[in-house]
Amino acid sequence: MESGASLDKEGNLKVGSPLEMASMHYQQVASRIQEWKRTIESNPAKFGELELAVHEEYRKGADMVLAAYLVMVHAVASFDAAAESTRKQYAVPLTRGRVRQIQLRLLGGLVIWIRSLYCEPSRRWFRENNPEKVPGIYIGLAQCGITNGISPALESLIVRQVAGTHSFEFAVDELQRQGISMSYKAIRRVAYECGNGLLTLRKREIERLRAGTLISSGELAGCRVVVQSDGGRMKFRYEKTARTGSEFKTRETAKESESDADIEHNAMLPEDGGRAKAKKRGRKTYRTEWREPKLVTIFIIDQNGKQVKNSKAWIDGTMQGPDALAEIIAMHLFRLGAGQAQSITFASDGAPWIWDRIDGILAMAKIPSNVTIHKVLDCCHAIGQMQAALKQFSLSETMLKGLGRLHRKQIRDGDWKLVVRSLEKRLSRHSELSESTRQLITRSINYLRHHGSAGRMDYPTFKLVGIPLGSGAIESGIRRVINMRLKSNGMFWLAEHAESILQLRCHYISKRLDERLVEKRVELTRNGKLDWDLLPREITPDHPLNTSA
């Protein structure tokens, strides 16, 4: 394969062999050694600055050597055969391609211009399937995991900074300190493309689950698995585009995957709105709304109900509603081999959208009947409902604390029926309560009765077999994944951007970002189209899962 690289766009500074590039860098460093020596001798307090300068210089040297290896591997005999195999296995027919020059940025910040074979969709296929818009691929670079003009290690560094810091601005600053001088827009583009790539990977895994071709890794075989779900809160931004004068038309920027309730609510909003000055000057303004991202965590526990040490949880989430999350859970359970697990425990709060879909999740994940299934209502939420009901009665502080202590012990002992009877008797004796107050108390009573009758409050048994009684893992996940990155004062998101950063943050917090990035790069060598929209299948009691579909 004809290839080559240079340190300048014009091709004057050719990239040679690794030894030649190391020698070139040594000559550059040698000219600065005396300068560094004079700096530290004249002012030892500048050692910190010198440390940064030396490390930055040697990062450039590392990049120069890596550039040489990148050129060298293109000349290996087996490289062309591997590239041709990738070309033939691509999702659409590709031409034999032509060598093109592309800018490539490496981990140390060095930018090179490299020539590599670019194969685009065949013209005949493109004419017949133009709406697909499947991009071409740099076949040679794809063998090295390079898909978007930056090296794999640099891509990982950028997305880790974006996912781990509080904003893009912080990420830009931290990258500059490490010698990566990239603009705000470039870093944001890389982060969103990477997030969309991970979402695309997840979509294709779900499609394979539906088609019955998803491969199980067996990671959860023989393990005691816990699945916890919950929802958070973050603000979405919906733009209002000015027409003329003070006339405004609301432009919905969220995806079509919103729920019917959201769409109906948005349609009821007034077309005219925004700040007076913005309307007068014809500027764009926007409105914000709270939305609920839904999150799931999957982890393994020991015989005492504690997460196994040195094990990593799986965290995933979506803005596309409960059915989408249920299908995501089913996909992860299947591909991780939960069908061979010792037991699976679903532990969450009392939200109906969680419990109504568990049977559908198990069916979709093809969990066999010999796997023990536990369903646990978070004990703290049960106690919270009891306390909320007690506070509606006109009780003294002493009595309120005494009854609360008694009922809390009864709930933990599995005697939820005693608590329900006590609350019902007390409600019948307080006829002076208003209708709204009685409804609040009745709601709490029904909550306890419903989950208790379903066997989700059998806490003594759960404790005996070593099952966690709470959903603290997902509550912590909501705080660390959503609240600490996606929810803050003055932070508003467009729907597609929120989904992308949420995906990065989930894998960053679960310490699985790098392994998912590797899987993403492999997937994009088969089909480089970033398309993660997927209509979820309904998984509710009213719409039972059709496993034959």
Round the average pLDDT of the chain to a whole number and report it.
Answer: 87
> Could you tell me where the beta strands, DSSP code E, fall in 178-256?
224-231, 234-242, 248-250
pLDDT at 183 over 80: yes
Sheet order of strands, 285-291 included: 248-250, 234-242, 285-291
Q: Are 324 and 538 in contact (CB under 8 A)?
A: no
pLDDT of residue 543: 53
Residue 36 inside a domain? The answer is yes
Look up residue 454 and give its amino acid.
Answer: A
Which pair of tokens denotes residue 87? 């070309």
Residues 2 and 110 in one domain: yes
Q: For position 431, what pLDDT does the model report?
A: 86
537 pLDDT more than 90: no
Is residue 338 scored above 90 in pLDDT? yes
Give the separation between CA 495 and CA 479, rounded to whole angstroms. 20
Phi first, then psi, for residue 43 (nearest 5°) are -150, 90
- Side chain identity at 370, as an amino acid letter? N
Report the distance separating Cα 295 and Cα 107, nearest Å: 32
Q: Does 163 fall in a domain?
A: no
Token readout for 126 is 């493109």
75, pLDDT greater than 70:
yes
Residue 3 lies inside a defined structural domain of this protein? yes
Q: Which residue has the higher pLDDT, 92 or 545?
A: 92
Least confident interval from 125-129, 331-335, 379-383, 478-482 = 125-129
Residue 300 in this model has a pLDDT that exceeds 60:
yes
Residue 263 has pLDDT above 70, yes or no: no
Query: What mean pLDDT comes out for the span 84-108?
Result: 90
Is the per-residue pLDDT at 242 higher than 70? no
Report the percent of the chain where pLDDT is more than 90: 65
Count of domains forming the chain:
3
Local structure of 350: helix, strand or coil: coil
DSSP state of 478: I
pLDDT band at 547 (very low <50, low <70, confident <90, very high): very low
DSSP code at position 131: G
In a domain, 406, yes or no: yes
Residue 248 reports pLDDT greater than 70: no
Which of 59-73, 115-129, 193-207, 518-532 has the weakest average pLDDT?
115-129
Element (H, E) at 535: none
Residues in the chain: 549
The pLDDT value given to residue 269: 38
Query: Looking at residue 274, what is its pLDDT?
Result: 46
> In the listed set 453, 484, 512, which residue is the last one of a domain according to the structure?
453
DSSP structure class, residue 340: G
| Residue 285 pLDDT class (50, 70, 90 cuts) | low
Of the residues 115, 137, 155, which one is the last residue of a structural domain? 115
d(CA 457, CA 471): 13
DSSP secondary structure letter of residue 542? S
Return the H-helix or E-strand segment holding 82. Answer: helix 77-88
Is the per-residue pLDDT at 515 higher than 70?
A: yes
pLDDT above 60: residue 451: yes
Taking residues 1-27, what's their average pLDDT?
Answer: 87
4 has pLDDT over 90: no
Pairing state between β 285-291 and 234-242 = antiparallel
The pLDDT score that the predictor gives to residue 534 is 87
pLDDT, mean of residues 400-408? 94
pLDDT band at 544, cuts 50/70/90? very low
* 146 in a structural domain: no
Assigned token pair, 261:
């309730």
Q: How far apart are CA 214 and CA 216, in angstroms?
A: 7
Share of the chain above pLDDT 70, in %: 87
pLDDT at 238 over 90: no
What is the per-residue pLDDT for 283? 58
> Can you give the residue range of the structural domain that contains 242?
234-291
Is the model's pLDDT at 13 over the cut of 50? yes
Q: How far is CA 289 from the centre of its chain?
A: 21
Predicted confidence at residue 488, as pLDDT, reads 82
Of all helices (H) and strands (E), which one includes residue 102? strand 98-105
First to last CA, the chain: 45
pLDDT at residue 165 in the model: 92
Neighbours of 461 (CB within 10 A): 11
- Residues contacting 270, CB < 8 A, separation 6+: none
Pair 508, 160: CB distance under 8 Å:
yes
Average of per-residue pLDDT across 466-473:
93
Q: Which pLDDT score, from 0 to 100, does residue 126 have?
A: 65
Domain boundary (421, 438, 453) is at 453
With beta carbons less than 8 A apart as the criterion, state whether 244 and 362 touch: no
The pLDDT value recorded for residue 129 is 64
Q: What is the mean pLDDT of the segment spanning 167-175? A: 93
pLDDT reported for residue 394: 85
Q: Work out the number of other CB atoms within 10 angstroms of the CB of residue 310.
A: 5
pLDDT computed for residue 196 by the predictor: 95
User: Is the pLDDT higher at 346 or at 236?
Assistant: 346
| Burial bucket for residue 407 (CB in 10 Å: 0-12, 13-18, 19+) | buried
Dist. CA 306–CA 309, nearest whole Å: 8
CA atoms within 13 A on the CB side of 169: 1
Phi/psi at 470 (5° precision): -130, 180
| pLDDT for position 123 | 78
> Hey, what are 55's tokens?
């490390």
